[in-house]
């Protein structure tokens, strides 16, 4: 619970910072130069899809915090005064700014994933409370109306609509061409892969550029294909073994109905992120950190007492 709260607070500050810099035009200074996405919130000037996914996971953590809070306190009714008197009001404020940050990245995939996350929690609220209108669904509906719709109008969601309208057969053909190239390179380096972060160099060496000679692709725009190419069959095998032990341990700890229902949310999150990864590379960078943290967590599971 403390981790979820801290993550929401940290990313809320990041979202406020990023949105402010976006509104004033992302000015250059001694340490930071302007980037290509000058008109979008990009955190500490990282790719907007990566930053949007970072905020997406934080928003999920905030909503998950609310779910656990409701279950631990056996809440059936939760009016506004009770929200103010609890930490839920802070989580709600954090999610407002997280929503603004996600919206103003103008990332099509991330905004669509955020909408799916909210609908997943709305579905979960019906499963958990056995009725459509309940404390959790009221919060989700308010987020959908206020954060997604009203804030979208205020901050100009026509930019997001324009980005969806920019989708064309030609643009998607270029992305599919990168997918095909990534699969071909995996076949060439199928055992050990070509190394983490090396796709740009592989592209420069092996890709036949037609037209724009300055075109350099640094990502495959598909997390799955890029992961295959970078770590090879051996890396994927190790990842599958680690994931199997992790989820086996996780499922073993599910010993009541509430935990089982919450596992549905985790499954839906993975499903949504998997759908997003087919057309984006926003999981690639945080994925390395998540994998390392998972391995460290596995090592701490059986330790009874830790002295720092």
Record the tokens describing residue 231, joined without a space.
Answer: 């770590």
| Cα angle, residue 185 at apex, residues 180 and 189 outer, rounded to 5° | 150
- Domain match, 37 and 152 both: yes
CB 15 within 8 A of CB 98: yes
**Strand, helix or coil for residue 95:** helix
- Domain match, 126 and 209 both: no
Q: Does 14 map to a domain? A: yes
- Average pLDDT (195-200) is 78
- Domain match, 204 and 58 both: no
Q: Does 42 map to a domain? A: yes
CA-based max dimension of the chain: 63
| Domain boundary residue, one of 104, 133, 165 | 165
Record the tokens describing residue 108, joined without a space.
Answer: 């099509």
- Digit-coded pLDDT (tens) for 115-168: 899 999 988 888 887 878 888 888 888 888 888 888 877 777 777 777 666 665
CB 244 within 8 A of CB 81: no
CB 164 within 8 A of CB 152: no
Q: Is residue 183's pLDDT more than 70?
A: yes
- Domain match, 60 and 186 both: no
Q: Does 181 map to a domain? A: yes
| pTM of the model as a whole | 0.76
Instruction: Please list, in sequence order, all residues whose beta carbon lies within 8 angstroms of the beta carbon of residue 65, skipping any fewer than 6 positions away.
Output: 1, 4, 5, 8, 91
- Digit-coded pLDDT (tens) for 230-270: 888 888 898 888 878 777 777 776 666 777 777 788 888 88
- Domain match, 30 and 53 both: yes
Q: Does 175 map to a domain? A: yes
Can you list the alpha helix ranges (DSSP code H) found in 24-168?
A: 48-72, 80-84, 88-103, 108-129, 135-142, 151-154, 158-165
* Burial degree of 195 (CB within 10 A; 0-12, 13-18, 19+): middle
Residue 203 vs residue 301, higher pLDDT: 203
Secondary structure element (H or E) that encloses residue 267, with its range: helix 257-277
Average pLDDT over the chain reads 78
Smallest CA-to-CA distance from 36 within 54, 18, 48, 20 is with 48
Q: Does 19 map to a domain? A: yes
Q: Which CA distances in Å does 288 have to 15, 55, 75, 210, 292?
A: 22, 17, 37, 33, 6
Record the tokens describing residue 263, joined without a space.
Answer: 């596992």
- Domain match, 14 and 87 both: yes
Residue 75 vs residue 113, higher pLDDT: 113
- Domain match, 225 and 96 both: no
CB 303 within 8 A of CB 155: no
Query: Among 29-33, 77-81, 194-198, where is mean pLDDT lowest?
Result: 29-33
- Domain residues for 191? 169-300
**Strand, helix or coil for residue 26:** coil
* Burial degree of 233 (CB within 10 A; 0-12, 13-18, 19+): middle
Q: How many residues does the chain have?
A: 308
User: First vs last Cα of the chain: how many Å apart?
Assistant: 21
**Number of domains within the chain:** 2
Q: Which CA distances in Å does 73 have to 67, 152, 240, 254?
A: 10, 33, 37, 19
**What does the alpha-carbon distance between residue 196 and residue 229 come to, in Å, rounded to a whole number?**
9
- Domain match, 201 and 138 both: no
- Average pLDDT (279-299) is 66
Q: Does 305 map to a domain? A: no
pLDDT at 23 (0 to 100): 81
- Domain match, 183 and 278 both: yes
Q: Does 308 map to a domain? A: no
pLDDT at 306 (0 to 100): 45
| Domain boundary residue, one of 128, 148, 165 | 165
Maximum average pLDDT range among 119-128, 178-187, 215-224, 296-305: 119-128
Q: Does 263 map to a domain? A: yes
- Domain match, 156 and 13 both: yes
Residue 222: pLDDT band with limits 50, 70, 90? confident
- Domain match, 156 and 14 both: yes
**Strand, helix or coil for residue 271:** helix
- Domain match, 187 and 273 both: yes
| Domain boundary residue, one of 165, 200, 231 | 165
Query: Among 22-31, 201-210, 288-297, where is mean pLDDT lowest?
Result: 288-297
pLDDT at 200 (0 to 100): 78
Q: Is residue 35's pLDDT more than 70?
A: no
In this prediction, what percent of the chain has a pLDDT beyond 90?
A: 3
């Amino acid at each position: 619970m403390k981790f979820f709260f801290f993550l929401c607070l940290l990313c809320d500050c990041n979202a406020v910072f990023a949105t402010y810099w976006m509104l004033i035009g992302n000015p250059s200074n001694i340490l930071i130069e302007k980037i290509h996405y000058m008109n979008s919130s990009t955190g500490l000037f990282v790719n907007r899809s990566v930053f949007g996914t970072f905020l997406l996971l934080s928003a999920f953590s905030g909503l998950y915090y609310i779910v656990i809070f409701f279950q631990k306190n056996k809440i059936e009714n939760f009016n506004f005064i009770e929200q103010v008197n609890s930490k839920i009001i802070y989580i709600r404020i954090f999610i407002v700014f997280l929503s603004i940050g996600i919206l103003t990245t103008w990332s099509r995939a991330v905004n669509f994933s955020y909408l799916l996350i909210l609908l997943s929690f709305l579905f979960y609220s019906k499963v958990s409370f056995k009725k459509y209108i309940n404390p959790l669904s009221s919060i989700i509906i308010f987020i959908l109306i206020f954060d997604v719709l009203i804030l979208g109008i205020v901050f100009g969601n026509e930019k997001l609509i324009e980005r969806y309208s920019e989708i064309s057969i030609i643009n998607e053909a270029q992305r599919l061409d990168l997918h095909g190239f990534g699969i071909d390179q995996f076949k060439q380096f199928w055992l050990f892969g070509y190394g983490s972060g090396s796709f740009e160099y592989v592209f420069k060496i092996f890709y036949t550029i037609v037209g724009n000679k300055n075109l350099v692709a640094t990502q495959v725009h598909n997390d799955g294909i890029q992961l295959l190419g970078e770590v090879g069959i051996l890396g994927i095998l190790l990842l599958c073994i680690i994931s199997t032990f992790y989820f086996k341990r996780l499922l073993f700890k599910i010993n009541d109905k509430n935990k089982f229902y919450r596992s549905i949310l985790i499954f839906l999150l993975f499903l949504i992120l998997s759908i997003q990864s087919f057309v984006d590379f926003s999981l690639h960078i945080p994925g390395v950190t998540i994998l390392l943290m998972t391995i460290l967590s596995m090592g701490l599971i059986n330790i009874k007492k830790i002295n720092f």
